[in-house]
Amino acid sequence: MCGIVGAIAQREVAPILLEGLKRLEYRGYDSAGLVVLNESAELERIRTTGKVVQLANAYDRQPVIGKTGIAHTRWATHGKPSESNAHPHICRNKVAVVHNGIIENHQTLREQQSKLGFTFTSDTDTEVVVHQVCHQLDQGDNLLQAVQHTCQDLEGAYALGVVSATEPDRLIAARRGSPLVIGVGIGEYFIASYVAGLLPVTQPFVFVEDCDIADLTRVGMLI
């Protein structure tokens, strides 16, 4: 279990996400990645194996610009350390998810989702989360409802950050058995698995209770 950082902000978030990941490096990890929603509400992702500095170098070569995003350092539990297994995971260019923890019923969900036509691009347990959220959106849920329903289907431990091109001004965070904290700013919110990931960015902090889901927009927070 390693690190999550996320932001829905008034400013470019990629530098904040990278700085947050660096501050969580002490926890150990094998790969890193981030996604932002750009001006056109498209998901733009970069992922690398190795250190956060390599992700930062990739960002320098190909900056991703946006005011909402999520980032992750991965400690592989399912699937080897590789770029394709690194988070965020994306479904149909629509939904992106970062996850700390282990989804125990990933095999069952994977079989159900394969039958529904979802294709898998990683060997992780996490990828079922992003497909399940996408499936729920297809059923007519909004993003918050989609994450609520998805969490009901998950067995295991998770801290999640979820963004969607369908609702670019929203960041959903959820936790069960894995830590998650929210940093409160002025017209902006941040998430991280540990306070250390947000220290230079904002305070105060709200500690998300186990099994809670947080709905974050620039105008407020609902838990």
Binding site for ligand GLU (CB under 6 A): 1-2, 74-79, 99-102, 124-126
Residue among 78 and 149 whose Cβ is closer to ligand GLU = 78
Residue among 153 and 169 whose Cβ is closer to ligand GLU = 153
Q: What backbone phi and psi angles, to 5 degrees, belong to 71?
A: -145, 165
Residue among 79 and 179 whose Cβ is closer to ligand GLU = 79
Residue among 148 and 156 whose Cβ is closer to ligand GLU = 156
Shortest distance, CB of residue 130 to ligand GLU, whole angstroms? 12
Residue among 47 and 67 whose Cβ is closer to ligand GLU = 47
Shortest distance, CB of residue 208 to ligand GLU, whole angstroms? 16
Shortest distance, CB of residue 161 to ligand GLU, whole angstroms? 12
Residue among 126 and 150 whose Cβ is closer to ligand GLU = 126
Shortest distance, CB of residue 157 to ligand GLU, whole angstroms? 9
132, 141 contact by CB (below 8 A): no
For the residues of the chain, what is the DSSP string, one character each? Answer: --EEEEEE-SS--HHHHHHHHHHTGGG--SEEEEEEE-TTS-EEEEEEES-HHHHHHHHHHS----SEEEEEEE--SSS-SSTTTSSPEEETTTEEEEEEEEETTHHHHHHHHHHTT-------STHHHHHHHHHHHHTT--HHHHHHHHHHH--EEEEEEEEETTEEEEEEEEEEBS--EEEE-SS-EEEESSGGGGTTT---EEEPPTT-EEEEETTEEE-
Question: How distant, in Å, are the alpha carbons of 44, 167, 174, 202 from that of 96?
Answer: 10, 12, 14, 24
Shortest distance, CB of residue 106 to ligand GLU, whole angstroms? 9
Beta bridge pairs of residue 89: 97
Shortest distance, CB of residue 162 to ligand GLU, whole angstroms? 14
